[in-house]
Amino acid sequence: GAVVSQHPSRVICKSGTSVKIECRSLDFQATTMFWYRQFPKKSLMLMATSNEGSKATYEQGVEKDKFLINHASLTLSTLTVTSAHPEDSSFYICSARDLRVRETQYFGPGTRLLVL
């Protein structure tokens, strides 16, 4: 199946710093990528939809100035958590849609962020 990579897999940072997470589709082109946040033992909450070459669409309640998304190419989207705070600690998962397989999303392995 299609492969999506995510980097880094884990990151620990100090409060107030910014963290960038990369999401790459390795063997297919993804015009659309999605960013999710998952709290322990909870479902995935969609944060934003990232479209290549255009601005991301954020879900209600997600601060676009805090969670910066850039989808510069058909295989790469980045999520930057700016001025991170402890409450931003979470598991962030990206997914990419392979247009060859209608409406199927492939998920990255996730990034566990801990803000001290």
Which positions touch other proteins (CB under 8 A)?
Answer: 1, 32, 34, 41-46, 49, 51, 57, 93, 95, 97, 102-110
Q: Pick the closer one to other proteins by CB: 14 or 43.
A: 43
Q: Pick the closer one to other proteins by CB: 5 or 80.
A: 5
User: For the sheet containing 76-81, what is the strand order?
Assistant: 4-7, 19-25, 76-81, 67-73
Q: Pick the closer one to other proteins by CB: 77 or 108.
A: 108
